[in-house]
Amino acid sequence: MGCVLWPRPASAGRGRYSDKKASKLRAYPGTLASGGKKNDTARMAQRMVFFVSDGTGITAETLGNTLLTQFDGLETEKNTLPFINSAERARSIVDYINFVASQSEYRPLVFSTTVNDEVRQILRGANALFLDLFDHFVNILETEIGQSSTHAQGRAHGGANTARYNARIAAMNYAMEHDDGASTRDLSRADVILIAPSRCGKTPTCLYLALQHGLFATNFPLTEDDLEKLVLPKSLQEHAGRCFGLIADPERLHQVRTERRPGSRYASLAQCSYELRQAERLYQRQGIPYIDSTNMSVEEMASVVMQEKGLRRQTF
């Protein structure tokens, strides 16, 4: 199968967009076979989507993906192009987008959060629907606030604010040190303690709360002894007010555990059903708020936890 290559700019420059990173060619599979003919009509019928940024691309990805979810059945092939912070790199990207557009049935969609006026003007010349997320909102804000924006690059996800960066790292270290009940030290520092039977989503939710929101989050598994007696683990009993419970659908938990330990009692549907039933009874008896995590993303679970516990994010 052929590919379209994102060419390396003639001069990769320095800084976060390193020479090493710039030298790696990005490939889009399935557009051309040798001889220049389309070899995958179904794939080319997809909408090509580009998230372009002079920083990490996180903001463009987040807002772009949020908008695209509103279109049921839309098939897309997504590419993130970060650190496009010079005219030279912008021209290379435009050439890349134009080439892809020439091989596709539909115009590509470009979501851009680039700040530099020259770069944005170059990107607008691409044969694509160019959605300038920065320009659209900043102009409105400038009018409302009565002040011109700085047009500074990399502020949303840069490392300029040392205090916020250090707070986030401290939260991550805390989450990893206390993961799955590994440590009971400094539990009084926890903003929230997630409790649940094994494999209900405790760890990823804690890590997300730490990394994205700078919150000190830890988690504990509920053992068979805890579930039989319907009591919190001893080390958590004086911290019940910090606890938040998770449950899941028994069939789904059975599936997840089977992937980890197939054929075991731990993974059996009967055991999963028992643990979840007892966990819910424990939460109700101890007055602990809880949610069913079965059909929820990590982001959704984290948001519900924060709302229910009255927590506010510490970093941005």
The three-class DSSP label of residue 120 is helix
Domains of the chain, residue spans: 3-145, 162-309
Cα–Cα distance, 166 to 159 (Å, whole number): 10
The 10s digit of each residue's pLDDT in 252-287 is 999 999 999 999 999 999 999 999 999 999 999 999
The three-class DSSP label of residue 294 is coil
Q: Please report which residue ranges of the chain form alpha helices under DSSP H.
A: 19-22, 41-44, 58-68, 87-103, 117-123, 133-145, 162-177, 202-213, 224-229, 250-260, 269-286, 298-309
Q: How distant, in Å, are the alpha carbons of 33, 50, 296 from that of 206?
A: 45, 31, 14
What are the binding residues for ADP?
196-203
What are the binding residues?
196-203
pLDDT under 70: residue ranges of the chain: 1-45, 150-161, 314-316
Cα–Cα distance, 239 to 196 (Å, whole number): 15
pLDDT of residue 160: 52
pLDDT of residue 161: 65
Q: How distant, in Å, are the alpha carbons of 3, 251, 281 from that of 274?
A: 51, 12, 11
The three-class DSSP label of residue 3 is strand
The three-class DSSP label of residue 187 is helix
Fold for domain 162-309? Answer: Rossmann fold (3.40.50)
The 10s digit of each residue's pLDDT in 11-48 is 333 333 333 333 333 433 333 333 333 444 444 458 99
Beta strands 26-29; 290-292: pairing state: unpaired
**The whole model's pTM is what?**
0.64
Contact 304, 256 (CB under 8 A): no
21: CB partners within 8 A, 6+ apart: 12, 83
pLDDT of residue 12: 36
Fold for domain 3-145? Answer: Rossmann fold (3.40.50)
| Both tokens assigned to 172 | 């991550």
Q: How distant, in Å, are the alpha carbons of 56, 190, 266, 278, 298 from that of 252?
A: 35, 29, 14, 17, 16
Contact 130, 108 (CB under 8 A): no
pLDDT of residue 254: 98
**Same fold yes or no, 3-145 and 162-309:** yes
DSSP-derived letter for residue 153 is: T
